[in-house]
Chain A
Amino acid sequence: MTVIALPVKWLGLAPTATDRAVSDEAQRFRRDRWLSVDTGFSLSVEEPYRRATAAVIEAAQEANRPNWDGQGGLPVTQGAVAQAFAFLDVLPSTLSEPEVAVDPDGEFSFEWSFGPRRALTASISASGKISFAALIGPARLYGTDYLLDALPEPLTLALRQLHASAA
Protein backbone atom coordinates (compact mmCIF):
# COMPACT_ATOMS: atom_id res chain seq x y z
CA MET A 1 0.00 0.00 0.00
CA THR A 2 1.26 3.48 -0.82
CA VAL A 3 0.55 6.22 1.66
CA ILE A 4 1.07 9.90 0.94
CA ALA A 5 1.13 12.66 3.53
CA LEU A 6 -1.39 15.19 2.22
CA PRO A 7 -0.67 18.91 2.29
CA VAL A 8 -2.73 20.40 5.10
CA LYS A 9 -4.72 22.83 2.95
CA TRP A 10 -5.60 20.13 0.48
CA LEU A 11 -7.28 18.06 3.17
CA GLY A 12 -9.99 20.68 3.60
CA LEU A 13 -10.94 20.80 -0.05
CA ALA A 14 -12.39 17.34 -0.18
CA PRO A 15 -16.18 17.24 -0.51
CA THR A 16 -17.93 15.74 2.50
CA ALA A 17 -21.12 13.84 3.20
CA THR A 18 -22.95 17.08 3.90
CA ASP A 19 -21.34 19.00 1.07
CA ARG A 20 -21.94 17.18 -2.17
CA ALA A 21 -21.86 20.05 -4.65
CA VAL A 22 -19.48 19.64 -7.58
CA SER A 23 -19.90 22.83 -9.63
CA ASP A 24 -17.05 25.32 -10.14
CA GLU A 25 -18.82 27.81 -7.85
CA ALA A 26 -19.10 25.16 -5.15
CA GLN A 27 -15.41 24.32 -5.46
CA ARG A 28 -14.56 28.03 -5.19
CA PHE A 29 -16.85 28.49 -2.20
CA ARG A 30 -15.39 25.42 -0.51
CA ARG A 31 -11.85 26.73 -1.02
CA ASP A 32 -12.73 30.22 0.23
CA ARG A 33 -14.48 28.79 3.25
CA TRP A 34 -11.52 26.58 4.02
CA LEU A 35 -9.07 29.46 3.70
CA SER A 36 -11.25 31.52 6.03
CA VAL A 37 -10.54 29.03 8.84
CA ASP A 38 -7.35 30.97 9.48
CA THR A 39 -8.94 34.39 9.65
CA GLY A 40 -12.68 34.70 9.53
CA PHE A 41 -14.18 33.07 12.62
CA SER A 42 -15.85 34.71 15.56
CA LEU A 43 -13.54 33.93 18.48
CA SER A 44 -16.28 33.17 20.99
CA VAL A 45 -18.45 30.87 18.89
CA GLU A 46 -16.08 29.37 16.37
CA GLU A 47 -12.93 28.94 18.41
CA PRO A 48 -13.80 25.40 19.58
CA TYR A 49 -14.60 24.45 15.97
CA ARG A 50 -11.32 25.93 14.80
CA ARG A 51 -9.35 24.04 17.46
CA ALA A 52 -11.15 20.78 16.67
CA THR A 53 -10.44 21.27 12.96
CA ALA A 54 -6.79 21.81 13.72
CA ALA A 55 -6.81 18.67 15.89
CA VAL A 56 -8.25 16.63 13.00
CA ILE A 57 -5.47 17.88 10.72
CA GLU A 58 -2.79 17.08 13.30
CA ALA A 59 -4.26 13.65 13.93
CA ALA A 60 -4.43 12.96 10.19
CA GLN A 61 -0.78 13.88 9.81
CA GLU A 62 0.22 11.60 12.68
CA ALA A 63 -1.85 8.65 11.44
CA ASN A 64 -0.91 8.78 7.77
CA ARG A 65 0.99 5.50 7.59
CA PRO A 66 0.37 1.86 8.55
CA ASN A 67 1.18 1.00 12.18
CA TRP A 68 1.33 4.72 13.00
CA ASP A 69 0.52 3.97 16.64
CA GLY A 70 3.03 1.12 16.98
CA GLN A 71 0.12 -1.21 17.74
CA GLY A 72 -1.06 -2.17 14.27
CA GLY A 73 -3.15 0.96 13.64
CA LEU A 74 -4.49 1.44 10.11
CA PRO A 75 -3.77 4.79 8.43
CA VAL A 76 -6.50 7.39 7.94
CA THR A 77 -7.78 7.87 4.42
CA GLN A 78 -8.77 11.01 2.55
CA GLY A 79 -12.39 9.90 2.91
CA ALA A 80 -12.05 9.59 6.68
CA VAL A 81 -10.58 13.11 6.89
CA ALA A 82 -13.45 14.51 4.81
CA GLN A 83 -16.02 12.76 7.01
CA ALA A 84 -14.29 14.05 10.16
CA PHE A 85 -14.68 17.62 8.87
CA ALA A 86 -18.31 16.88 7.96
CA PHE A 87 -18.90 15.61 11.50
CA LEU A 88 -17.48 18.82 12.97
CA ASP A 89 -19.67 20.83 10.59
CA VAL A 90 -22.88 19.39 12.01
CA LEU A 91 -21.93 19.66 15.69
CA PRO A 92 -24.01 22.31 17.46
CA SER A 93 -21.85 25.30 18.35
CA THR A 94 -23.17 25.10 21.92
CA LEU A 95 -21.29 21.84 22.50
CA SER A 96 -17.93 21.85 24.18
CA GLU A 97 -14.90 21.02 22.06
CA PRO A 98 -14.37 17.28 21.56
CA GLU A 99 -11.04 15.56 22.05
CA VAL A 100 -9.90 14.19 18.71
CA ALA A 101 -8.10 10.88 18.24
CA VAL A 102 -7.67 8.24 15.57
CA ASP A 103 -8.89 4.72 16.31
CA PRO A 104 -6.79 1.66 15.45
CA ASP A 105 -9.06 1.04 12.44
CA GLY A 106 -8.25 4.46 10.95
CA GLU A 107 -11.53 6.13 11.90
CA PHE A 108 -11.53 9.52 13.61
CA SER A 109 -12.96 9.54 17.09
CA PHE A 110 -14.41 12.48 18.98
CA GLU A 111 -14.65 12.14 22.73
CA TRP A 112 -16.31 14.20 25.45
CA SER A 113 -15.74 13.61 29.12
CA PHE A 114 -17.69 15.35 31.87
CA GLY A 115 -16.45 13.48 34.93
CA PRO A 116 -16.92 10.00 36.35
CA ARG A 117 -19.20 7.84 34.20
CA ARG A 118 -20.17 10.78 32.04
CA ALA A 119 -18.46 10.34 28.70
CA LEU A 120 -19.26 9.83 25.05
CA THR A 121 -17.16 8.70 22.13
CA ALA A 122 -18.21 8.86 18.49
CA SER A 123 -16.19 7.53 15.57
CA ILE A 124 -16.78 8.23 11.92
CA SER A 125 -15.67 6.03 9.06
CA ALA A 126 -14.70 7.01 5.53
CA SER A 127 -18.16 5.97 4.38
CA GLY A 128 -19.86 8.26 6.89
CA LYS A 129 -20.88 5.56 9.36
CA ILE A 130 -20.98 6.89 12.89
CA SER A 131 -20.48 4.47 15.78
CA PHE A 132 -20.90 5.82 19.25
CA ALA A 133 -20.97 4.77 22.88
CA ALA A 134 -21.83 6.75 25.98
CA LEU A 135 -21.77 6.35 29.72
CA ILE A 136 -24.46 8.46 31.32
CA GLY A 137 -24.25 7.55 34.98
CA PRO A 138 -25.37 3.92 35.29
CA ALA A 139 -26.86 3.96 31.78
CA ARG A 140 -24.90 2.65 28.81
CA LEU A 141 -25.84 3.69 25.33
CA TYR A 142 -24.34 2.64 22.02
CA GLY A 143 -25.35 2.49 18.41
CA THR A 144 -24.55 3.05 14.76
CA ASP A 145 -26.00 5.49 12.27
CA TYR A 146 -24.99 7.43 9.19
CA LEU A 147 -23.97 11.05 8.92
CA LEU A 148 -26.36 12.74 6.52
CA ASP A 149 -27.31 16.39 6.87
CA ALA A 150 -27.44 16.41 10.65
CA LEU A 151 -26.11 14.60 13.68
CA PRO A 152 -28.08 11.37 14.26
CA GLU A 153 -30.87 11.89 16.80
CA PRO A 154 -29.72 9.35 19.44
CA LEU A 155 -26.25 10.90 19.45
CA THR A 156 -27.67 14.42 19.77
CA LEU A 157 -29.84 13.35 22.69
CA ALA A 158 -26.95 11.66 24.47
CA LEU A 159 -24.73 14.71 24.03
CA ARG A 160 -27.47 17.03 25.30
CA GLN A 161 -28.02 14.79 28.32
CA LEU A 162 -24.31 14.80 29.14
CA HIS A 163 -24.02 18.55 28.75
CA ALA A 164 -27.08 19.12 30.89
CA SER A 165 -25.66 16.93 33.63
CA ALA A 166 -22.40 18.87 33.52
CA ALA A 167 -24.06 22.27 33.72
Chain B
Amino acid sequence: MRFRSRLRSLFGSFMPQQPSGPFALPPAEAEPLSRFLLSKRRYSVERMRVKSAAFLPEPNSLETSVFRTLGLEEEEIWTIGEHHVAQATGHTLHGRGQVLAQVPRRLGLNVRPDNQPERHAAIVGWPAEKDRQQMLAIELAEEATLFLK
Protein backbone atom coordinates (compact mmCIF):
# COMPACT_ATOMS: atom_id res chain seq x y z
CA MET B 1 0.00 0.00 0.00
CA ARG B 2 2.76 2.36 1.03
CA PHE B 3 4.69 1.31 -2.08
CA ARG B 4 1.73 2.22 -4.34
CA SER B 5 1.35 5.55 -2.64
CA ARG B 6 5.05 6.32 -3.16
CA LEU B 7 4.82 5.30 -6.79
CA ARG B 8 1.87 7.64 -7.30
CA SER B 9 3.70 10.53 -5.67
CA LEU B 10 6.79 9.87 -7.79
CA PHE B 11 5.12 9.37 -11.15
CA GLY B 12 1.76 11.04 -10.66
CA SER B 13 2.72 14.14 -12.61
CA PHE B 14 3.57 12.03 -15.67
CA MET B 15 0.23 10.20 -15.69
CA PRO B 16 -2.89 11.60 -17.41
CA GLN B 17 -5.02 13.49 -14.93
CA GLN B 18 -8.67 12.65 -14.59
CA PRO B 19 -10.84 15.76 -14.79
CA SER B 20 -12.16 16.80 -11.43
CA GLY B 21 -14.27 19.58 -9.95
CA PRO B 22 -17.78 20.79 -10.70
CA PHE B 23 -17.11 21.07 -14.45
CA ALA B 24 -15.66 17.60 -14.86
CA LEU B 25 -19.07 16.19 -15.83
CA PRO B 26 -20.50 16.58 -19.34
CA PRO B 27 -22.45 19.82 -19.82
CA ALA B 28 -26.23 19.91 -19.68
CA GLU B 29 -28.09 20.37 -22.96
CA ALA B 30 -28.86 24.04 -22.36
CA GLU B 31 -25.41 24.90 -21.06
CA PRO B 32 -23.69 27.69 -23.03
CA LEU B 33 -20.27 27.05 -24.57
CA SER B 34 -18.02 29.90 -25.67
CA ARG B 35 -15.53 29.72 -28.51
CA PHE B 36 -13.16 32.66 -28.06
CA LEU B 37 -12.24 34.55 -31.22
CA LEU B 38 -8.66 35.74 -31.65
CA SER B 39 -8.84 36.71 -35.32
CA LYS B 40 -11.05 39.39 -36.86
CA ARG B 41 -11.47 37.15 -39.89
CA ARG B 42 -13.37 34.55 -37.89
CA TYR B 43 -16.48 36.72 -37.53
CA SER B 44 -18.38 39.38 -39.43
CA VAL B 45 -19.28 42.65 -37.74
CA GLU B 46 -21.48 43.73 -40.68
CA ARG B 47 -23.62 40.62 -40.42
CA MET B 48 -23.06 40.12 -36.69
CA ARG B 49 -22.30 36.46 -37.19
CA VAL B 50 -19.58 33.99 -36.43
CA LYS B 51 -17.99 32.45 -39.52
CA SER B 52 -17.85 28.70 -39.85
CA ALA B 53 -14.02 28.74 -39.79
CA ALA B 54 -14.25 29.73 -36.11
CA PHE B 55 -15.66 26.33 -35.20
CA LEU B 56 -13.46 24.11 -37.36
CA PRO B 57 -11.33 21.76 -35.25
CA GLU B 58 -7.65 22.19 -34.58
CA PRO B 59 -6.02 20.10 -37.36
CA ASN B 60 -3.86 17.82 -35.23
CA SER B 61 -6.19 17.00 -32.36
CA LEU B 62 -9.46 17.36 -34.32
CA GLU B 63 -10.92 19.18 -31.32
CA THR B 64 -12.52 22.59 -30.98
CA SER B 65 -11.58 24.23 -27.72
CA VAL B 66 -14.46 25.87 -25.81
CA PHE B 67 -15.20 27.16 -22.33
CA ARG B 68 -18.30 26.47 -20.28
CA THR B 69 -19.74 29.77 -19.14
CA LEU B 70 -22.76 28.69 -17.10
CA GLY B 71 -23.47 31.08 -14.22
CA LEU B 72 -20.82 33.61 -15.17
CA GLU B 73 -21.31 37.33 -15.60
CA GLU B 74 -20.24 38.81 -18.93
CA GLU B 75 -17.08 40.33 -17.39
CA GLU B 76 -16.09 36.99 -15.90
CA ILE B 77 -16.41 35.30 -19.29
CA TRP B 78 -14.12 37.88 -20.88
CA THR B 79 -11.65 37.43 -18.03
CA ILE B 80 -11.45 33.70 -18.83
CA GLY B 81 -10.89 34.47 -22.50
CA GLU B 82 -8.23 37.03 -21.76
CA HIS B 83 -6.42 34.97 -19.17
CA HIS B 84 -6.60 31.43 -20.54
CA VAL B 85 -6.76 32.03 -24.29
CA ALA B 86 -5.56 35.45 -25.43
CA GLN B 87 -2.73 36.21 -22.99
CA ALA B 88 -1.66 32.57 -22.89
CA THR B 89 -0.99 32.68 -26.63
CA GLY B 90 -0.02 36.34 -27.01
CA HIS B 91 -3.09 37.29 -29.05
CA THR B 92 -5.84 39.89 -28.83
CA LEU B 93 -9.29 38.74 -27.80
CA HIS B 94 -11.92 40.09 -30.19
CA GLY B 95 -15.07 38.28 -29.21
CA ARG B 96 -16.71 34.93 -28.72
CA GLY B 97 -19.20 32.71 -30.40
CA GLN B 98 -21.68 31.07 -28.08
CA VAL B 99 -23.66 27.90 -28.71
CA LEU B 100 -25.62 25.65 -26.40
CA ALA B 101 -24.16 22.21 -25.72
CA GLN B 102 -27.18 20.60 -27.38
CA VAL B 103 -26.20 22.05 -30.77
CA PRO B 104 -22.99 20.06 -31.37
CA ARG B 105 -24.67 16.97 -29.90
CA ARG B 106 -27.60 17.28 -32.27
CA LEU B 107 -25.10 17.32 -35.13
CA GLY B 108 -23.49 14.10 -33.93
CA LEU B 109 -20.54 15.77 -32.21
CA ASN B 110 -19.79 15.51 -28.51
CA VAL B 111 -18.64 17.86 -25.79
CA ARG B 112 -15.84 16.38 -23.70
CA PRO B 113 -15.11 18.20 -20.46
CA ASP B 114 -11.51 18.22 -19.24
CA ASN B 115 -11.73 21.11 -16.79
CA GLN B 116 -8.07 21.99 -17.43
CA PRO B 117 -8.11 24.93 -17.04
CA GLU B 118 -11.32 25.14 -15.08
CA ARG B 119 -14.44 25.17 -17.29
CA HIS B 120 -12.50 24.08 -20.35
CA ALA B 121 -14.02 21.52 -22.69
CA ALA B 122 -13.63 20.41 -26.27
CA ILE B 123 -16.06 19.73 -29.06
CA VAL B 124 -14.96 16.31 -30.29
CA GLY B 125 -16.06 13.63 -32.70
CA TRP B 126 -15.19 15.55 -35.85
CA PRO B 127 -14.95 13.57 -39.08
CA ALA B 128 -11.60 13.52 -40.87
CA GLU B 129 -13.00 14.80 -44.19
CA LYS B 130 -12.77 18.58 -44.60
CA ASP B 131 -16.11 18.99 -46.38
CA ARG B 132 -17.95 17.13 -43.62
CA GLN B 133 -16.17 19.26 -41.01
CA GLN B 134 -17.30 22.37 -42.88
CA MET B 135 -20.88 21.13 -42.96
CA LEU B 136 -20.89 20.74 -39.20
CA ALA B 137 -19.03 24.02 -38.65
CA ILE B 138 -21.47 25.98 -40.80
CA GLU B 139 -24.35 24.51 -38.77
CA LEU B 140 -22.61 25.48 -35.52
CA ALA B 141 -21.98 28.99 -36.86
CA GLU B 142 -25.62 29.23 -37.90
CA GLU B 143 -26.75 28.58 -34.33
CA ALA B 144 -24.04 30.63 -32.67
CA THR B 145 -24.48 34.05 -31.16
CA LEU B 146 -21.66 36.54 -31.64
CA PHE B 147 -20.53 38.61 -28.66
CA LEU B 148 -17.95 41.31 -29.30
CA LYS B 149 -15.50 42.47 -26.68
Contacts and interface: CB of A to CB of B under 8 A. Distances in A.
Q: Do A and B come from one complex?
A: yes
Interface of A: 55, 58-59, 62, 67-74, 99-107, 109, 111, 113, 116-117, 119-121, 123, 131-135, 140, 142-144
A109 B137 CA distance: 12
B91 interface: yes
Contacts of A142: 131-132, 134-135
Contact of B51 (A99, A107, A144): A99
Interface of B: 38-39, 41-42, 44, 47, 49, 51-53, 56-61, 65, 85-86, 88-91, 129-132, 134-135, 137-139, 141-142
A102 B131 contact: no
Contacts of B129: 131, 144
Given A106-B59, A119-B141, A133-B132, 5 more contacts: A67-B89, A99-B41, A119-B138, A131-B130, A135-B138
Given A70-B86, A113-B49, A121-B52, A101 B134 contact: no
Contacts of B44: 99, 113
Contacts of B51: 99, 101, 109, 111, 121
Contacts of B132: 133, 142
Contact of B131 (A58, A67, A117, A132): A132
B41 to A, nearest CB: 4
Contact of A69 (B42, B47, B57, B134): B42
Nearest to B91: A70
A71 B48 CA distance: 22
Contacts of B57: 104
Contacts of A117: 142
Contacts of B49: 113
B131 A72 contact: no
Contact of A70 (B38, B41, B135): B38
A80 B44 CA distance: 23
Contacts of B137: 121, 133
Contacts of A135: 138-139, 142
A58 B39 CA distance: 12
Contacts of A68: 39
Contacts of A120: 138
A62 B130 contact: no
A111 B90 contact: no
